[in-house]
Every structure is written in C-alpha cells, then in structure tokens.
Amino acid sequence: MALIHYPVVNKNGEIIASAVTNLDLHDIARASKTYGVKAYYVVTPLEDQKALVEKIISHWVTGVGAAYNPVRREALELIRVKDSVAAVIEDIRNRGEEMPKTVVTSAREYPRSIGYETFREMLETGSPYLLNFGTAWGLSESLISEADYVLNPIKGKCGYNHLSVRSAVSVILDRVMGVRSEK
C-alpha cells in the first residue's frame, strides 16, 4: 500500500505536495498490520518531510516509544519512505517480488472502476498489487490514468462521501482483506 503526498491535488485541482500528517502514519500503519498488508509506503519527494517521517518511525521502532508501546512498533515498522510511485515499485522489485499491478482509489467513479469483491478476488490469487491512496483532495489525474485499476468510490448513504484518508483506508482494507466470518 502507498499513501501519496505528491502528486496530489488541492481544493482548486492544482497539483501540490501535501504535508505528512502524524496520525496518517499511526492509523494507517495500525490498519495495515491488522489486515495483513505487507508494507506501507509513505510517498513524498520533500526532504524535510522524509526526515520527519523517519524521525517519528525511529522513535516508535527503535527509540523509547518501542519499549513504551511495543504494539505500536509492530505497526510502524511496516512503513517505508520513498520519493515516488516509481521508487516504490523499484523497491518492491529489489526485494525479489514480481512487478505489482497498481490500483488507485478515488472519491469519483470512473467508467473503468472495479468493485471491492473483484479486487478481493484478485488479491486472493496471490499476485502482488500496489494500492495507492491520495492525501489532500486526492490523487492527480496522471496517477489515476496511469494505474492498472481504479477502485469504486465509497459512496455512503446520503450523497456525502468525504471520508478522511484514514477512514477510507480502514474501510477499504476491511472490504478487501477483512476476515469474512467476523463480518
């Protein structure tokens, strides 16, 4: 899985690099660990943001946080910081994995969007997939158009679909990787 901070769009649809949010690291790492995600990539090309993320991780993985809350360590050690989606894919390849297919999420529906049940079945084949989530107002159109697959949006009941990225990740992981028998 990857949480993208660049290229994403702002409120006006302009391409920006968003700032990393501390709780995105914690919440999404904990959800990743719960649902069995192999790695949680935090993607930002900004050097100060990369340094900040590394500092937070090291506090919880090797610093005093690791002794204070070992359960948090288990989650945060899934995080890997990279410059771009290309660098993420290179890292996956360097670890001896097959080339992953890329899947993007969006609050908008596209003609080629696929459903959660379909993606769940794709994951169950064992083939590698890189699932990308956007921060700010969402992934750039370039990332969406380059992806192999687009997931359906979470629409909800009342025409309001403005979940935080932390909520969207949690719900989507539950839908595609959650234990069936506990639902």
Least distance between its own copies and beta carbon 11 (Å)? 8
Restricting to residues 102-141, name those near its own copies by CB under 8 A: 115-117
Binding mask 135-174 for its own copies (x = CB under 8 A): -----------------x-xxxxx-xxxxx-xxxxxx--x
Measured CA to CA, the distance from residue 133 to residue 83 in angstroms comes to: 15
Q: Which helix or strand (DSSP H or E) is residue 43 part of?
A: strand 40-43
Residues 56-75 that bind its own copies (CB under 8 A): 69, 71-72, 74-75
Site string for its own copies, 3-42 (x = CB under 8 A): --------x-----------x--xx--xx-xxxx------
- Minimum Å distance from CB 94 to its own copies? 25
CB of 58 to its own copies, least distance (A): 20
Closest by alpha carbon to 131, among 23, 33, 4? 4
Helix (H, G, I), strand (E, B) or coil at 178: coil
Where are the extended beta strands (E) located within 44-153?
Answer: 79-82, 101-104, 129-134, 149-150
Q: Which residue(s) pair with 80 in the sheet?
A: 41
Interface with its own copies (CB under 8 A), residue total 42
Q: Which is nearer to its own copies, 89 or 105 (CB)?
A: 105
Counts of helices then strands in the chain (DSSP H, E)? 8, 8
Distance CA 60, CA 178 (A): 26
Q: How far apart (Å, rounded) are the C-alpha atoms in residues 29 and 153? A: 22
What is the binding site for its own copies (CB under 8 A)?
11, 23, 26-27, 30-31, 33-36, 69, 71-72, 74-75, 115-117, 152, 154-158, 160-164, 166-171, 174-175, 177-179, 182-183
